[in-house]
Each structure stands twice: as C-alpha cells, then as structure tokens.
Amino acid sequence: MDKLLVKQCLFYGSWLAFPFIAWLLWRMRRPGRRLLLAVPLAASLLFVWARFVEPQTIVVRETTLPGTGANLDLALVSDIHLGVYKGRGFLERLVARLDALPVQAVVIAGDLTYEPGDDSLQALFAPLAQLQHPAYAVLGNHDQQQPGPDIDVALRAALRTHGVQVIEGRFAEGPGWRLAGLGDRWALKDDPAFLKAVPSPLPTIVVAHNPDSAMGLSPDDAAILLAGHTHGGQIRIPWLYRHVIPTEHDFDRGEQFALTPAGRVRVFTTSGVGEIGLPMRLFNPPVIDILHLRP
C-alpha cells in the first residue's frame, strides 16, 4: 500500500475514536461493566488527547543561555512539517504567536514540509509573509529527499517570496551577533568549512536541522548550535521515546554539549511543532523556544 495513503488512513481514520468512546460510555451504563471498560475508556481518552488536542496546543518555553557572547532574544522553531498532517491554518496560528513575542529574530531549523503532495508551496507558506520579525531558515531532510520528495528549489523560492532568508552556507549579521546556516546532514550539505573561511569577532550562532551537525564543529566555529530534527521523541513516553530519536549521537531536546573531536560544542535542540509517522504528540506539545542569548 502507498505510504501516503497509509498516513491519510491514520489521519482520517483516527476520528473513529469518538464513536468508539460513545459506544464505551453507552456500555458502561450497566454497573457490572464499568470496571471492565474503564481501561479501554482511559486509553481512548489518552489517544484523543495525543491525536487531537496536544498537536494543536502551541506552547512557549523560555531559556536563558549566558556565555554565548551575544545579546539577542530569538524565537526558535523547527519541524513545522506542513503537508499530510498539518496545513496552512496551523502555520497561521504559529505566525500569530511568533508575532506577539518580544524577540529580535525568528529562526526556523528545517523540515518545513512533510509530503505536501501537489499543494502549492507558495500558497501553503503564505502566512510567513505576515511575520513581523526578521526570519532565517535552513532546510531539513524532509525538504531534500531524505526521505523525499526533493522540493528544495521550490521551497527555497516560496520562502524567499514570503520574506524568509535561507542562510545555508552563508551568514546574516545583526548588532553584536552573526548567524550562520548549515545544510541538512543526511543530504551531506552540512560542511562547516565556510565558517573557518570567514572569521569574525562577532559570536557566531550556527543553525542546522540535525543536532548531529555539531560533531563537525569546533568551539571556535560556534558560540552555540541551534537545531531541531529530534521532535523530543514526539510521543514522549519515558525511556521508550529515546529509541525513536533519529540521531547518531545522544541528542534529545534543550541544552546539551556535544563532545566533538575539536572540543565541547554547545547545542540547543528544539522539539519542534509538527509530526511525522503518527499524527500524534504526547507529553511533548508543539513548542516555540524563546532563547535569551547573553554574553
């Protein structure tokens, strides 16, 4: 069976949970069955939360990161995954939340799509034009055929049209700070050589999709690496979620330090706002990370 069809069946078929819950409640009218049916009812309600409520609940999390050399407040988001599970309406809500935040920039750390099919990327990402803050992005594996389809060129064009700067392989500067972008690691586009070729007295904040890209950096290359990709496990059941995070090294979410051949590199990984595989999130809602970078 076509993989896209399977995902669509999961997405739309999950609505059957509601008549199933109604049937359970009807069966529980008889006292002798209440205890027997309590477990499937609780499991069904948890499923409804993870499928219909939590994935739509955007939370804002603030973290202060001293010692970066920069004095910058930015919003970090990742893994929007517009396509089979999330559409333009979710992006409109996300942009409205971002516009209300007291930050100087928005950083999008890749995986903007998830099998958008024949949808026009220009139309799908049009809400980004409403962003009131400067926005910078890199692409992720789902944007570059890892897995596909490869929509690199069309996606870059859509982002450019709507005012988002794709900074892979180049820099963007602000007062007292410099952003640098790495391409996707699975697409073999995260070579950091350009960082050494253009040294700067400004602290360099490196943006990548996959936190594993930190392993190619040295402490001199980056004051901090900002990344996504892990989803924080997406369905964050203790211990089990660690086994589905798609990284080679021990990354999760939040602040960590990568022990690279050149030394310790500071990393902050956001758990993202979208879903892949199952259209569900649990104990891990979509998040906008506000990062207060301080000297």
Distance, C-alpha 220 to centroid of its chain: 26
Asked whether residue 146 carries a pLDDT value surpassing 90, the answer given is no
What mean pLDDT is predicted for residues 227-253? 97
Least confident of 31-45, 225-239, 242-256: 31-45
Q: Which residues contact 39 (CB under 8 A, 6 or more apart)?
A: none
Convert the pLDDT of each residue in 4-52 to its tens digit: 888 989 999 999 999 999 999 999 988 878 888 999 999 999 999 999 9
Asked whether residue 154 carries a pLDDT value surpassing 90, the answer given is yes
Q: Which residues contact 24 (CB under 8 A, 6 or more apart)?
A: 37, 40, 41, 44
- pLDDT at residue 270, as a whole number: 98
Edge-to-edge strands of the sheet including 105-109? 59-65, 287-293, 72-77, 105-109, 135-138, 164-166
Task: Give, in order, the Cα–Cα distances in Å from 58 to each of 90, 91, 193, 255, 286.
Answer: 10, 11, 36, 20, 5
Convert the pLDDT of each residue in 75-99 to its tens digit: 999 999 999 999 999 999 999 999 9
Band of residue 1 on the pLDDT scale cut at 50, 70, 90: low
The sign of the dihedral angle between the CA atoms of 11, 13, 17, 22 is: positive
Percent of the chain with pLDDT over 90: 91
Convert the pLDDT of each residue in 113-125 to its tens digit: 999 987 799 999 9
| Selection from 246, 250, 292 nearest residue 272 by Cα | 246
3-state secondary structure the chain: CCHHHHHHHHHHHHHHHHHHHHHHHHHCCCHHHHHHHHHHHHHHHHHHHHHHHHHHCCEEEEEEECCCCCCEEEEEECCCCEECCECHHHHHHHHHHHHCCCCCEEEEECCCEECCCCCCHHHHCHHHHHCCCCEEEECCHHHECCCCCECHHHHHHHHHHCCEEECECCEEEECCEEEEECCCCCCCCCCCHHHHHCCCCCCEEEECCCHHHHHHCCCCCCCEEEECCCHHHCECCCCHHHHHCCCCCCCCCEEEEEEECCEEEEEEECCCCCCCCCCCCECCCCEEEEEEECC
Asked whether residue 201 carries a pLDDT value surpassing 70, the answer given is yes
Percent of the chain with pLDDT over 70: 100
Asked whether residue 150 carries a pLDDT value surpassing 90, the answer given is no
Q: Where are the domains of the chain?
A: 3-54, 59-293
- pLDDT at residue 149, as a whole number: 77
- pLDDT at residue 88, as a whole number: 97
- pLDDT at residue 186, as a whole number: 95
- What class does CATH assign to 59-293? alpha beta
What mean pLDDT is predicted for residues 61-72? 98
d(Cα 97, Cα 107) in Å, to the nearest integer? Answer: 14
Which residues partner with 138 through β-bridges?
Answer: 109
What mean pLDDT is predicted for residues 203-214? 98
Does residue 272 come out as left (phi exceeding 0), alpha (psi in the -120 to 50 range) or beta? Answer: left
CB atoms within 10 A of CB 29: 8
d(Cα 263, Cα 88) in Å, to the nearest integer? Answer: 42
